[in-house]
Amino acid sequence: MLIAGNWKMYKGPAETAEFCLGLREQELEGVDVVVCPAFVSLAVAVQLLAGTEIAVAAQNVHWEQEGAYTGEVSAEMLQELGVYGAIVGHSERRQHFGETDETVARRTEAALEAGLFVIACVGETGEEREREETEEVLRRQVSVLEGDDNLVLAYEPVWAIGTGKTATPDMAQAAHAFIKTLIDVPVLYGGSVKPDSASELLSQPDVAGALVGGASLELESFSAICRAAIRS
């Protein structure tokens, strides 16, 4: 079971240091834990979580090793910092920054080739679900990806991200089971995961963990979700 905390554009180095020091004190044996700080906070997270089983991942990674790509960061740069992996294709990247299935595939392939662990995100919008296009969308998004031992997918229904809405356990299970027919990798659930909903979601047979957004920003709620994963 894997629990990854996506901090989005929160927590500079000082707040990251405080959180990581607290996280070190938690009893989290029995679950794989990853924190995904902003680029400016990666170094302090790597430093303070060194010697623990808690991994540090970035929120994005570019497909080129270097070049004239202002604002981007390569897999090799992340590795030099000691970063373990990266999120790729989060719906906010698709919605706000023009990420496409093609660029998600390029980022994923480059990161995997460099030896990074990748959490690649897929999921439908509310409008697509209402039109009963969930499986069509997932098939398109997954079709550009190839299975790899260092690849995990995160099913994140876009309509449930930052909205307080959460897919029911049955809805999550159905989507995860479908994804598993397309590609043989673990699938996390992402979409307003909270301590009170985590246990039932994580108990579904094809849910291999969670990509946690807002609830990962507070040590108490993130730790509670990790403990729910241990019990699942």
> In angstroms, rounded to a whole number, what is the distance separating the alpha carbons of residues 121 and 187?
9
Tokens at 26, concatenated? 């938690």
Q: Which residue in 92, 109, 124, 156 is the catalytic one?
A: 156
Say if residue 72's pLDDT is above 90: yes
> In angstroms, rounded to a whole number, what is the distance separating the alpha carbons of residues 55 and 47?
11
What is the tens place of the pLDDT at every residue in 124-150?
A: 988 888 898 999 999 999 999 999 999
What is the average per-residue pLDDT within 77-92?
97
Q: Which CATH architecture has domain 2-231?
A: Alpha-Beta Barrel (3.20)
Is position 90 annotated as part of the catalytic site?
yes
Q: Which residue in 90, 92, 109, 124 is the catalytic one?
A: 90
> In angstroms, rounded to a whole number, what is the distance separating the alpha carbons of residues 54 and 28?
9
Tokens at 68, concatenated? 């004239």
Indicate the residue type of 42: L
Question: In the chain, which residue ranges form alpha helices assigned H by DSSP?
Answer: 13-24, 42-49, 75-81, 91-97, 101-114, 126-130, 134-143, 169-182, 195-202, 219-231
What is the tens place of the pLDDT at every residue in 20-67?
A: 999 999 999 999 999 999 999 999 999 999 999 999 999 999 999 999
> In angstroms, rounded to a whole number, what is the distance separating the alpha carbons of residues 127 and 120?
22
Say if residue 159's pLDDT is above 90: no
Q: Which pLDDT score, from 0 to 100, does residue 191 have? A: 83
Is position 156 annotated as part of the catalytic site?
yes
Say if residue 162's pLDDT is above 80: no
Say if residue 164's pLDDT is above 80: no
